[in-house]
């Protein structure tokens, strides 16, 4: 039987790999949804026109983008030679592998895109490219792949 103290140390070390500022990367999940422009809707319902050429709220799109963001940290592997083998995923340019806490999994799954911040205060934009796999003992972590997308 493995002493429980071993697992405690394992979890402490794995958590530190994610939360440490030198190893873990700050990330923001962004979930964007389209909502009807209330200004356009109100004007179509009552027939009044409060603007001449284009709605000033939505710039004539008839919708607005509602953005909800959440911050969390991930461990990021840019090079396929450092990837842990999970799933049937090919190495393509711009693909990375990430490991995170299972408590942050829904932030990743529900996001439209993820911003991963670099060491020089820039960010790169990614989207989920694979299913999310449980990782480690007691499924405390997840591992998945992200593809780079345009900003």
Give the span between the Cα atoms of 142 and 99, in whole angstroms. 6
pLDDT digits (tens, 9 = 90+) for 93-151: 999 999 999 999 999 999 999 999 987 778 999 999 999 999 987 779 999 999 999 86
Dump pLDDT digits (tens) for 46-93.
555 555 677 888 888 888 999 999 999 999 999 999 998 888 888 899
| DSSP bridge partners of 4 | none
Mind listing the domains of the chain with CATH numbers? 4-31+69-148 (2.40.10)
Strand 133-135 relative to strand 113-117, pairing: unpaired
CA-CA distances (angstroms) from residue 92 to 131, 137, 147?
16, 29, 8
* pTM for the structure as a whole: 0.82
d(CA 151, CA 115): 10
- 28 confidence band (pLDDT: 50, 70, 90): very high
> Is the model's pLDDT at 8 over the cut of 70?
yes
């Amino acid at each position: 039987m493995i002493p429980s103290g071993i697992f405690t140390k394992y979890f402490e070390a794995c958590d530190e790999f994610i939360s440490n500022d030198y190893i873990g990367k700050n990330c923001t999940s962004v979930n964007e949804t389209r909502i009807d422009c209330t200004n356009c809707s109100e004007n179509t319902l009552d027939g009044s026109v409060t603007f001449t050429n284009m709605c000033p709220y939505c710039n004539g799109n008839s919708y607005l983008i509602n953005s909800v963001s959440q911050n969390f940290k991930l461990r990021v592997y840019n090079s396929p030679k450092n990837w842990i083998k999970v799933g049937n995923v090919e190495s393509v340019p711009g693909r990375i592998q990430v490991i995170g806490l299972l408590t942050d999994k829904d932030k990743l799954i529900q996001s439209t895109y993820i911003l991963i911040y670099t060491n020089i205060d820039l960010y790169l934009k990614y989207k989920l490219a694979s299913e999310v796999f449980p990782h480690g003992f007691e499924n405390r972590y997840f591992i998945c792949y992200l593809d780079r997308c345009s900003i």
